[in-house]
Amino acid sequence: KRKPFPQDFLWGSASAAYQVEGAWDLDGKGKSIWDEYVRIPGTTYKDTNGDVAVDHYHRYKEDVALMAEMGLKAYRFSIAWTRILPNGTGEVNQAGIQFYSDLIDELIAHNIEPLVTIYHWDLPQALQDKYAGWESRQIIDDFDNYCRVLYKHFGDRVKYWVSLNEQNVFIGLGYLAAVHPPKVSDRKRMMQANHHANLANAKAIASFHEMVPNGLIGPSFAYGPAYPKSALPADIIAFENANEVESYWWLDVYCKGKYPRIAWNFMEENDLAPVVEPGDDAILAAGLPDFIGVNYYQTATYEWNPIDGITGDASSQNTTGKKGTSKSTGIPGMYRTVKNEFLETTDWDWTIDPQGLRIALRRLTSRYDLPILITENGLGAFDDLTADEQIHDTYRIDYLAKHVDAVHDAIADGARVLGYCTWSFTDLLSWLNGYQKRYGFVYVNRDEESMKDLRRMKKDSFYWYKKVIATNGED
Ligand code: BGP
C-alpha cells in the first residue's frame, strides 16, 4: 500500500486576477499591460478580453460558497498589482486592499486556506510606459515595494505565497514568441528582462522572509519535463540541452541562486547572456524559496536539431482548439520538439501525460530537494451544456484522477508535496483562447461574444473532486 497523502494536504484550485475578476477599470484600478494588449485586434481568440471575465470581483462570495460546498482546502488566486498601486508605485488604493482583504476573510471564514500569487502577468501599464517594464532594473525595486505593501496588509492572514507565476512563460511569450505583451521577439532582450525578473523574485523573497517570518513563499514554474525522442546519443544531447535551457535556466536560479553552467555557456557563446552587475549574485543567493511551485500540464519530447536545422515559428501555437495545428519549436544546434507517438493530446495539442507529473516531482526532488506545491494542473476542453443544464465532463475527471494518482506515486517515491491545485475552480478566460477552452469544476454561462448571464453551474467533476477531498485522495 502506498504512503497516504499527508493529513494536512492542500487540495486546492487556482485562478488569476485577469482571468476571473473583470471590473477592469472599477474602484480606482489602473490599467495593466493586458488591459491594453487585448485591445490590439487579432492578439487573442476572437478578440476576447477580461473586461468582465467571469465577474468574480462582484461574485466572489458566491464563488467562495461553492468552494465551501465542495470542501476545498485551498484557493490560489492572484492580486492585481493595478488594484493596489494603480500606477505601479505611489499611493496605495484602499479599495484594492479592501477587495482582497474581504476575499481573504471570506475564504478563512469557510476554512479555505488562501494561497496568494503576487504576480500573474498583469504588470501596470504605467511601468511599461515609464521604463519598458521588465527590461529595466527599476522594476526590481518597484516590484519589491508592491510586495511589501501586500506583506504588510495580508501577511498576518496568508501563509502561502507565490512570487512570480510562470516567469518562463510570461518572459518567453512576451519577449520571444511575441504572443503576450509587450509582443517582442528578441532572445537577447528576453534574457535581460528575465534576469531582472530573477532579481525581482529573489529580492521579494528576501523581503518576505524579513516581514512574514512564519509564511512560506516560492515562485511557480511552468514545468514541462523533457523526454528524449530516442536512445540515439544525439537525441540525448538534445534532451539534456532542453533540460538546461528550458528548465534549469530558471529553476537553478530560483533554488540554487545561480545560473546553470552549461546553459550559461550556451548563452555566452551566442551573445545572449544577460548583463549581470556586481552584487547580483548575492541578491540571487539571498532570496531562495521555501518551496517550489509547479504548474504542470504536459511533457515535451526532443530530438537533435542540426545547426542548419529548422523549427516552426514559436508563435504558431494552436489557439483555436483545432487539433494538429501547432508547430515544432526549438533552437538550431540544440534541440527541437517532436510529437510523442505514445501520448494522446488535447484539442489544443497539449500532451496528456499523467506520469509526466510524477517525473516532474521526482526530478525536482532529486535536483533541489525542496517541498513542492502543485499550483496548477488541469484539462482545457470544450464543454457541452446539455438541455437539462448538466455538464458531463468525464474526460476531465479521467484526466484529473490520473494526475492525482501520479502525485500519490511521487509522494510514495519520496517527493514532499504540500498540495495540489487544479486549474481552475470556475471556468475563466484563457489568455489567448477565449472562453471556449474551459478548465473549471464550475461552468460559467458565457462565451466569446456575450456575457449571457454568467450563471454558475456545477459540472460532474465538481462532485468527483469533492469526494477526492473528503477521502484525502484515497478513493
Ligand atoms: C498557465 C497559466 C494560467 C492558465 C493556464 C492554462 O500557463 O499560469 O494562467 O492560463 O496556463 O493555459 P491556457 O489558458 O493557455 O490553456
Q: What is the pLDDT of residue 316?
A: 64
Helix (H, G, I), strand (E, B) or coil at 381: strand
Q: Rounded to the nearest whole angstrom, what is the distance from the C-alpha of residue 270 to the centroid of ligand 1?
A: 31
> Can you tell me the distance from the alpha carbon of 380 to that of 393, in angstroms, rounded to the nearest whole number?
11
**Nearest alpha carbon, ligand 1 atom 15:** 430
* 254 close to 219: Cβ distance less than 8 angstroms: yes
ipTM over 0.95? The verdict is: yes
For residue 306, the CA-to-ligand 1 centroid distance in Å is: 31
For the question of whether the overall pTM of this predicted structure is more than 0.80, the answer is yes
With the CA atoms of 226, 231, 233 and 234 taken in that order, what torsion angle do they form, in degrees rounded to the nearest 10? -60
Contacts 24+ apart (CB under 8 A), 329-332: 330/242, 330/302, 330/305, 331/241, 331/245, 331/305, 332/305, 332/306, 332/307, 332/308
Average pLDDT over every residue of 115-121:
98
Find, among 128, 137, 256, the residue nearest to 199 by Cα.
137
278 Cα–ligand 1 center, Å: 36
Residue 55, number of CB atoms within 10 A of its CB? 18
Alpha-carbon span 161 to 150, nearest angstrom: 10
**For 303, how many CA atoms within 13 A lie in the half-sphere containing its CB?**
11
Residue 394 pLDDT: 98
Whether the CB of 166 sits within 6 Å of ligand 1:
yes
What distance in angstroms lies between residue 168's CA and the mean position of ligand 1's atoms? 12
pLDDT tens by residue, 161-190: 999 999 999 999 999 999 999 999 999 999
Q: Is 407 left (phi over 0), alpha (psi -120 to 50) or beta?
A: alpha
Would you please indicate which residues are annotated as catalytic (active-site) residues? 376
> In the structure grid, which three cell numbers stand for residue 194, read together?
528575465
Q: Does residue 314 register a pLDDT over 60?
A: no
H, E, C per residue of 69-110: HHCCCEEEEECCHHHHCCCCCCCCCHHHHHHHHHHHHHHHHC
* Residue from 376, 379, 448 whose mutation best tests the ligand 1 pocket (most atoms within 8 A of CB): 376
Distance between Cα 257 and ligand 1 center (Å) = 26
Q: For ligand 1, is residue 15 a contact (CB within 6 Å)?
A: no
Q: Whose CA is nearest to atom 10 of ligand 1?
A: 430
pLDDT in tens, 338-347: 999 999 999 9
Q: Are 382 and 447 in contact (CB under 8 A)?
A: no
Kindly report, residue by residue over 5-59, the tens digit of the pLDDT.
999 999 999 999 999 999 999 999 999 999 999 999 999 999 999 999 999 999 9
Task: Report whether residue 219 contacts ligand 1, using a CB cutoff of 6 Å.
Answer: no
Strands, sheet with 330-331, edge to edge from the N-terminal-most edge strand: 226-228, 300-303, 335-338, 330-331
Is the beta carbon of 273 within 6 A of some atom in ligand 1?
no
Residue 324 has pLDDT above 60, yes or no: yes
3-state secondary structure of 245: helix
Rounded distance, CA 469 to CA 475, Å?
9
- Which mutation among 220, 431, 433, 437 tests ligand 1's pocket best, with the greatest number of atoms within 8 A of CB? 431
For residue 165 and ligand 1, the question of a CB distance below 6 A is answered with yes
Nearest alpha carbon to residue 201 among 263, 272, 144:
144
pLDDT confidence of residue 96: 98
Name the residue among 246, 235, 242, 95 with its Cα closest to residue 168. 246
